[in-house]
Amino acid sequence: MKDLLLQIACGLVSNPDAVSVDVDEPDEEGTVVYHLHVAQEDMGRVIGKQGRIAKAIRIVMRSAASRNDEKISVEIE
């Protein structure tokens, strides 16, 4: 899952070396939180107009996680 998020984010940004993902341990509900970090100048590219790209990233990640019976959340920081 982490590799998928990195692949998506690196394809969107102009500085792929600054992309990193931190993964939290599952909480009491079993949800794993992925924290996506990108360079400040690439935040607009990852979030998109009115958050459309960020929403699409979250949808793709949730769909991939559901295939593995996992619950995830993606936060862009």
Q: What is the pLDDT of residues 16-74, one digit of tens each?
A: 999 999 999 999 999 999 999 999 999 999 999 999 999 999 999 999 999 989 999 99
The pLDDT value given to residue 47 = 94
In this structure, whether the domain defined by 2-76 belongs to CATH 3.30.300.20 is answered with: yes
CA distance 33 to 47: 17
User: Residue 38 burial (CB < 10 Å; 0-12/13-18/19+)?
Assistant: buried
Average the pLDDT over 1-18 and give the result. 93
What is the model's pTM? 0.89
**pLDDT category of residue 77 using cuts at 50, 70 and 90:** confident
